Amino acid sequence: MVLAGALLAVVHMAIPSATVSDALYLASTVFFGVALLISATIHKPDRRIWPVVLVVALCSVAGQVAGNNTAPNESMRAVSELLFFATQLALVIGLLVVVKRRGTHEVSSVLGDSVIVAIGVWLTVWISLLQPSLDVTGETSTVTILRGMTTGASAVVVLLLAYLLFADAVRTPAVTLLSAAIGLSLLGDLLYAINTSGHVEIAQHFAYAPYVMCYFVGAAAFMHPSISQLTDHGTIRSSHNLLGRLVVTTSALVVPVIFLSVTNPESTSDRVVRTISIAVLATTVMFRVVQAVRSNAASQAALVRTAKTDALTGLPNRPLVIEYLAEALQSAWKSSRRPTVLFIDVDRFKAINDSLGHATGDDVLMSVASRLRNAVPDRAIVGRIAGDEFVVLDSGTHSVADAMMLADHVLNAFKEPLAVDQGDVFVSASIGVAVASKGQMITPDELLRNADTAMYRAKHAGRNCVALFDESMLERVTQRLAVETALYRALEREELELFHQPIIDITLGDVVGFEALMRWEREDGTMVSPAEFIPIAEETGTIVPIGAWALLEALSHLRGWIDDGVCSKDATMSVNVSPKQLHDPNFFAIVNEALMRSRVRADQLWLEVTESVMITEPEIALASLTKLSEIGVRVAIDDFGTGYSSLSLLQKFPIHRIKIDRSFVSGVADDSSARSLARTILAMSSSLGMDTVAEGVESLRQLQTLSALGCAKAQGFLISHPVPVHAMRATIAALNDISNWPQIRR
Ligand code: C2E
Ligand code: MG
Ligand code: MG
């Protein structure tokens, strides 16, 4: 359409015939009318713009017709000018609606620039066109006044157009096209004004060409789908066309100044108009400069503020907290004050986020922030340093007692539920307390880290409590960190080894299986107990590769013993498996590969899991264990009776063996209640058709009692300590030599 408009405009300019001109003009207005009708039915732009569009279209056409009258008389010219004025006025109203609705973030600066542009245009038009036409044409004052008003209105149109284009909302194609159409109509008006000024004569076929094109571009604007969002609040532009804006604004300043300098005022009234206009222009520029400097300073300040505060809660962030902390430590140096840092971590915040959604999670964090603010004295600083981690800094405390009192106060602030949109939420917090000690230099980072360490202690102590930092915590943390780092390399450095503990059939006294137990001998020769490193391996995820290694290693050992005739060919191997391994999607493949490579039957492998697998994310563990039991691998519940599994879960999981925990076994011979418990466990497993193994059997009496209670199998120091692979032949031989097994049966 834009191309067609340009083409027709060229045709219009090429043929200097009034008839052709009138025909083309008529055709383009009809075309525009049709486009409006189509747009109204298809794109349905905001209804508010229709009156404006109709007034603009009708008045401009009518004005053109009236002005084009072959024998123009004064009243006809006045009517024509009046219609043009109405057109500009309607344009002003329409643009005002659009501009106001689309909105902008920096209204004042855009408005300032637009006012400069409008005054610049007005001044230029006045000096170059309007003022001269007053003398030359000798028109009646009515027409001149009307034309002056039209020019003023046009200047406002230019202003609003500039505003629309400078504003920071994204320019849609409809906005661009519409602005181009209005620009073309203003160009037409300019040519018309030049004609009437009497300076130069511009032939009609040139003067009307912009109008012809204007209707086509206007039609294109209304036919574009984006017209339906003309009055919507636009998306904010990511990059601002600052250069374009600067060029337009400075041109609006420079051009009138050039005109002013090359022309002399024609009359007193001209001088007055020029003076007033230039005064207004100068004032606007002054305001605009002041405003620009101010907004620059404000945005710089805002930048610094956002860099140091947390966007969600408005609290100081980590760098700012550190700054405050440094100040507090410095000023406390010579006084009796001992600044306190509370490190507050919201308990199970991830669960809140996961179950209630991130929006609610944000609400919770904001409520926590205001709770904390209200719970601490005014002099204290509350900061948020990470997701759900808050810090309270009180530089006014004098002792550890003060600090603990503050911490208790903060902990109590969580007693009441937090009100969020979805309802009330109960949250608790773990609080670590660190107090700067007197006369000892400590950096802000160290004090914060100490509070963090204490917070971890509070978490481990069961959450919802306060822990005070002491140096030993740091040692433990350092030690743990060292273990963690060394554990990463343990596998590749071949520092891990499997020991095995035989499992015997109580009735027969035969070794029927083994449990593989991991040992870690560190570089320096120290032995680390699995009770110490397995939890770390589980936490860090290293258990997955280590566990895979253990599976293959244990089954290979069994293969070797069977092949060497150390044990029976049906002996089984029990391997401990942690929940992390069961949650690993490759676990099934790992087990399968280990079975294949060691050529051990699936039913010779026992996987020992603890009750905890049935509690945290039981679905994944269930799926994993079910798949394995389908190929014949069997599952044992380790340390049975120490966890919190429910009987219903026990039934749901594919479990083939229960291992009675050492804590029950140790009392079984002398303590009647331990005996009853063991009896109950044995009765339950037998009715569920499960195998039973007693763990940690250390005395003959324990073994005899267990045998009497009907326990099938046993393992423990009485039978054998866990031994290295090469010692198994001797261990089993020694076991076979023990002649007193039959005693047990009695
Ligand atoms: P667990 O599976 O319950 O293993 C039995 C633990 O009891 C072993 O401790 C064993 O040495 C010890 N024990 C055996 N008989 C007696 C006894 O008569 N008296 C006493 N007091 N203790 C006895 P260990 O080897 O220190 O292993 C501790 C735990 O570490 C194991 O408990 C198991 O949960 C875990 N663990 C060991 N190896 C692995 C492994 O390869 N993978 C995984 N995930 N965990 C392992
Ligand atoms: Mg075990
Ligand atoms: Mg056990």
**382-423 residue pLDDT tens:** 999 999 999 999 999 999 999 999 999 999 999 999 888 878
Q: What share of the chain is helix, strand, coil (3-state, %, to 5)?
A: 65, 10, 25
Report yes or no on 306 lying in a domain: no
The DSSP code for 630 is H
Residue-level pLDDT at 745: 46
- 574-579-580-581 Cα dihedral, nearest 10 degrees: 30
Round to whole Å and give the CA distance between 657 and 690.
5
The DSSP code for 405 is H
User: Which residue puts its alpha carbon closest to atom 37 of ligand 1?
Assistant: 517
Contact 121, 252 (CB under 8 A): yes
> Counting every residue, how long is the chain?
746
Q: How far is the CA of 629 from the centre of ligand 1 (A)?
A: 23
Residues 465, 486: one domain?
no
285-312 core/surface letters (b: 16 or more CB in 10 A; e: else): beebeeeeeeeeeeeeeeeeeeeebbee
Ligand 1: residue of 576, 605, 701, 715 to mutate (most ligand atoms within 8 A of CB) is 576
- Domain final residue, candidates 237, 259, 294: 294
> Over pLDDT 90: what percentage of the chain?
43
User: Based on the number of CB atoms within 10 Å of its own CB, is 713 exposed (0-12), middle (13-18) or buried (19 or more)?
Assistant: buried
- Tell me the whole-structure pTM to 2 decimals: 0.54
Round to whole Å and give the CA distance between 298 and 285.
20
Round to whole Å and give the CA distance between 744 and 711.
12
Residue-level pLDDT at 344: 96
Please state, in angstroms and as integers, the Cα–Cα distance from residue 694 to each residue in 141, 181, 712, 713, following that order. Answer: 117, 92, 8, 6
Residues 553, 433: one domain?
no
Element (H, E) at 401: helix 400-412
Nearest to 55 by CA among 87, 96, 95: 87
User: Which residue puts its alpha carbon closest to atom 21 of ligand 1?
Assistant: 696
Residues 22, 150: one domain?
yes
Report yes or no on 460 lying in a domain: yes
> Over pLDDT 70: what percentage of the chain?
94
Q: How far is the CA of 663 from the centre of ligand 1 (A)?
A: 13
Q: Could you report the per-residue pLDDT of 356-392, keeping only the tens digit for each?
A: 888 889 999 999 999 999 999 999 999 999 999 999 9
Assign residue 583 the CATH number of its domain.
3.20.20.450
Residues 262, 375: one domain?
no
Higher pLDDT, 494 or 612: 494
- Ligand 1 atom closest to Cα of residue 698: 18
Q: How far is the CA of 549 from the centre of ligand 2 (A)?
A: 16
- Ligand 1 atom closest to Cα of residue 499: 25
At residue 746 the predicted structure's pLDDT band, cuts being 50, 70 and 90, is very low
Residue-level pLDDT at 578: 93
Q: Range with the lowest mean pLDDT among 571-580, 590-599, 648-657?
A: 648-657
Please state, in angstroms and as integers, the Cα–Cα distance from residue 639 to each residue in 117, 271, 516, 696, following that order. Answer: 84, 103, 15, 10
Instruction: Determine the average pLDDT of the residues in 109-135.
Output: 77
Round to whole Å and give the CA distance between 192 and 209.
11
Round to whole Å and give the CA distance between 114 and 214.
23
Contact 643, 618 (CB under 8 A): no
Can you name the residues that pair with 394 across neighbouring β-strands?
A: 340
Instruction: Determine the average pLDDT of the residues in 239-260.
Output: 80
Q: How far is the CA of 525 from the centre of ligand 2 (A)?
A: 25
Report yes or no on 302 lying in a domain: no
Assign residue 330 the CATH number of its domain.
3.30.70.270
Mean pLDDT (the chain, rounded) = 87
User: Which residue puts its alpha carbon closest to atom 8 of ligand 1?
Assistant: 517
Q: How far is the CA of 663 from the centre of ligand 3 (A)?
A: 10
Contact 282, 119 (CB under 8 A): no
Residues 100, 8: one domain?
yes
Report yes or no on 49 lying in a domain: yes
- Domain final residue, candidates 409, 437, 469: 469
Domain residues for 464?
Answer: 318-469
User: Which residue puts its alpha carbon closest to atom 4 of ligand 1?
Assistant: 517
